[in-house]
Amino acid sequence: MASMDWRKSVVYQIYPKSFNDTTGSGEGDIRGIIEKLDYFSKLGVDYLWLTPVYESPMNDNGYDISDYYEVNPQFGSKEDLKELLGKAHEKGIRIMMDIVINHTSTEHQWFIESKKSKDNKYRDYYIWKDGTYDQPPTNWESKFGGNAWNYDKQTNQYYLRLFDITQADLNWENEDLRRDIYDMINYWIDFGVDGFRFDVVNLISKGEFVDSDGPGKEFYTDGPKVHEYLNELNRNTFGDKDIMTVGEMSSTTIDHCLKYTDPERNELNSVFNFHHLKVDYPGGEKWALANFDFLELKRILMEWQVAMDEGGGWNAIFWCNHDQPRVVSRFGNDETEENRVLSGKMLAIALHGLKGTPYIYQGEEIGMTNPAFKRIDQYRDVESLNAYSILRDKGMDASHIMDILATKSRDNSRTPMQWDDSLHAGFTEGEPWIEVSDRYQKINVTHALEDEHSIFYTYQKLIRLRHELDVLTYGSVEPYLMDDENLFIYTRIHEDESIMVIANFRNKEVPYPENISVEGEILLSNYDDRKDVLRPYEALMVYGQGE
Please, which residues have CB within 8 angstroms of residue 400's CB and are 6 or more apart in sequence? none
Q: Give the integer Cα–Cα distance in Å for 366 and 372.
A: 18
Torsion of the alpha carbons at 434, 439, 442 and 446, rounded to the nearest 10: -10
Could you say whether residue 287 binds ligand TEU (CB under 6 A)?
no
Minimum CB distance to ligand TEU smaller for 64 or for 267? 64
Name which position in 225, 286, 447, 494 contacts ligand TEU (CB under 6 A). 286
Could you say whether residue 279 binds ligand TEU (CB under 6 A)?
no
Strands 94-99, 47-50: parallel, antiparallel or unpaired by DSSP?
parallel
Could you say whether residue 199 binds ligand TEU (CB under 6 A)?
yes
180 in active site = no
Could you say whether residue 364 binds ligand TEU (CB under 6 A)?
no
Q: Give the integer Cα–Cα distance in Å for 221 and 205.
A: 8
Minimum CB distance to ligand TEU smaller for 37 or for 390? 390
Could you say whether residue 160 binds ligand TEU (CB under 6 A)?
no
Could you say whether residue 383 binds ligand TEU (CB under 6 A)?
yes
Q: What is the DSSP letter of 201?
A: G
Q: Which residue is nearest to ligand TEU (CB)?
A: 63
CB of 250 to ligand TEU, least distance (A): 4
Could you say whether residue 198 binds ligand TEU (CB under 6 A)?
no
Q: Give the integer Cα–Cα distance in Å for 40 and 61.
A: 24
Could you say whether residue 411 binds ligand TEU (CB under 6 A)?
no
Minimum CB distance to ligand TEU smaller for 318 or for 440? 318
Could you say whether residue 217 binds ligand TEU (CB under 6 A)?
no
Taking the CA atoms of 83, 89, 92 and 94 in sequence, report the sign of the dihedral they define. Answer: positive
Could you say whether residue 143 binds ligand TEU (CB under 6 A)?
yes
Q: Are 151 and 133 in contact (CB under 8 A)?
A: yes
Q: For the window 88-127, what string marks contact with ligand TEU as x by the rule CB under 6 A?
A: ------------x---------------------------
Give the DSSP H/E element, type plus range, for residue 330: helix 327-330
CB of 100 to ligand TEU, least distance (A): 6
Could you say whether residue 14 binds ligand TEU (CB under 6 A)?
no
Q: Give the integer Cα–Cα distance in Å for 454 and 467.
A: 21
Report CA-CA distances (Å) from 174 to 170, 179, 203. 9, 9, 15
CB of 30 to ligand TEU, least distance (A): 19
Minimum CB distance to ligand TEU smaller for 365 or for 411? 411
Could you say whether residue 381 binds ligand TEU (CB under 6 A)?
no
Could you say whether residue 200 binds ligand TEU (CB under 6 A)?
yes
Could you say whether residue 21 binds ligand TEU (CB under 6 A)?
no
Q: Give the integer Cα–Cα distance in Å for 366 and 380.
A: 23
310 in active site = no
Name which position in 21, 323, 334, 538 contacts ligand TEU (CB under 6 A). 323
Minimum CB distance to ligand TEU smaller for 21 or for 199? 199
Could you say whether residue 204 binds ligand TEU (CB under 6 A)?
no
Total chain residues near ligand TEU (CB under 6 A): 13
Q: Give the integer Cα–Cα distance in Å for 162 and 270.
A: 24
Q: Give the integer Cα–Cα distance in Å for 234 and 231.
A: 5
Q: Are 409 and 401 in contact (CB under 8 A)?
A: no
Q: Which position among 64, 199, 267, 365 bears the catalytic label?
A: 199
Query: HEC profile for 198-257?
Result: ECCHHHCCCCCCCCCCCCCHHHCCCCCCHHHHHHHHHHHCCCCCCCEEEEECCCCCHHHH
Please, which residues have CB within 8 angstroms of residue 88's CB and are 6 or more apart in sequence? 37, 40, 48, 94, 95
Could you say whether residue 163 binds ligand TEU (CB under 6 A)?
yes
Q: Give the integer Cα–Cα distance in Å for 298 and 331.
A: 12
Report CA-CA distances (Å) from 353 to 20, 390, 443, 459, 520. 30, 40, 25, 12, 16
Q: Are 144 and 150 in contact (CB under 8 A)?
A: no
Minimum CB distance to ligand TEU smaller for 322 or for 355? 322
Q: Which position among 21, 80, 222, 248 bears the catalytic label?
A: 248
Q: Residue 126: what residue type?
A: Y
Could you say whether residue 68 binds ligand TEU (CB under 6 A)?
no
Minimum CB distance to ligand TEU smaller for 327 or for 471? 327
The residue ranges that bind ligand TEU (CB under 6 A) are: 60, 63, 100, 143, 163, 199-200, 248, 250, 286, 322-323, 383
Point out the residues that are catalytic: 199, 248
